[in-house]
Homo-oligomer: A and B are copies of this chain.
């Protein structure tokens, strides 16, 4: 099977997101439970999450929907409109995010719910940026961070 890891990192970078941005989100989630933060361990855990096939498919699909919406290439023109405004009731972006979180158990899901409401770091930045469609990418980042934080919690 083909590993799409590099493609995922490039897609994230293209949309202005670095691994360090995601590290910051994991720290936000884990700070209350950790005595000391090990940035390298967190980064490695994030990389292990992005190395999962189902996670790669979610990243590639979600970010490509955002870009296709910017490019206005969808058959249903309303779809771009719905996504652009990120109607708080849209929901498919969260469904995709749960597809990632579910692989890491129930703690990952509660982590995601929390980070999706509080919008720390890059998630808040993307959420405020109205110059392009960020409907899927913010949930994808939240899900990756939630999954990584859950994996670290289970490892302790």
Contact = CB atoms under 8 A, between A and B. Distances in A.
Interface of A: 1, 4, 7, 11, 53-54, 57-58, 60-61, 63-65, 67-68, 71, 73-76, 78-79, 82, 88-92, 94-96, 98-99, 102-107, 109-114, 116-118, 153-154
How many chain copies? Answer: 4
Among A1, A4, A113, the most chain B Cβ lie within 10 Å of the Cβ of A113
A3 B78 CA distance: 12
User: Which 6 A-B residue pairs are closest in the complex by CB-CB distance?
Assistant: A113-B113, A95-B99, A94-B106, A102-B102, A73-B73, A114-B117
Contact of A91 (B57, B71, B75, B76): B57
A63 B89 CA distance: 19
Given A57-B92, A64-B75, A91-B105, 14 more contacts: A54-B105, A57-B90, A57-B91, A60-B82, A61-B79, A65-B65, A92-B96, A94-B106, A95-B95, A95-B98, A98-B106, A102-B103, A103-B105, A114-B118
